[in-house]
C-alpha cells in the first residue's frame, strides 16, 4: 500500500521511532480526494456477470476512505485518533487542519 510506504519514508526522514513513543499520543489522519472507483467498477461488473459469490471479500475495505489510516495505524502501532478524510480538492488542507486541532487538544 502506498500510504504505508509513504509513512515509513516520512518517519525515516524525520528520524522518528514510533515504538519508542506513547502510542496513544500518535494519531493517523489520511486524506483522499477520491478513491476506490476502479475496485467498485470491477466488482460491480463481476456481480452483474457472475453473481454475488464472485465479488471479492475485500471489496468494501478497498472502497472505504479510512482503510489506509487503519492499516497505517496498525503497521506502526499508533493508538491515537485515526480516521480518513474525503473532501475533494480541499482534502490536504482539511487533513492539516484536523491534525493541528488534534495536537492542540
Mean pLDDT in each 10-residue stretch from start to end of the chain (105 residues)? 93 94 95 83 95 92 87 96 92 94 92
* Residue ranges of domains in the chain: 2-104
CA distance 51 to 30: 33
**Structure confidence at residue 90 (pLDDT):** 93
Instruction: Indicate the CATH number for domain 2-104.
Output: 3.40.47.10
**Structure confidence at residue 79 (pLDDT):** 97
Neighbours of 19 (CB within 10 A): 8
Report DSSP state, residue 34.
Answer: S
Reported pTM: 0.82
Burial of residue 13 (number of CB atoms within 10 Å: 0-12, 13-18, 19+): exposed
Q: What share of the chain is helix, strand, coil (3-state, %, to 5)?
A: 65, 10, 30
Amino acid at each position: 500500500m502506498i500510504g504505508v510506504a509513504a509513512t515509513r519514508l516520512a518517519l525515516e526522514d524525520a528520524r522518528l521511532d514510533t515504538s519508542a513513543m506513547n502510542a496513544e499520543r500518535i494519531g493517523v489522519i489520511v486524506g483522499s480526494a477520491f478513491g476506490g472507483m476502479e475496485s467498485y467498477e470491477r466488482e460491480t461488473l463481476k456481480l452483474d456477470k457472475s453473481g454475488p459469490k464472485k465479488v471479492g471479500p475485500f471489496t468494501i475495505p478497498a472502497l472505504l476512505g479510512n482503510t489506509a489510516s487503519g492499516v497505517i495505524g496498525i503497521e506502526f502501532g499508533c493508538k491515537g485518533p485515526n480516521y480518513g478524510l474525503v473532501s475533494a480538492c480541499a482534502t490536504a488542507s482539511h487533513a492539516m487542519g484536523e491534525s493541528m486541532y488534534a495536537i492542540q487538544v
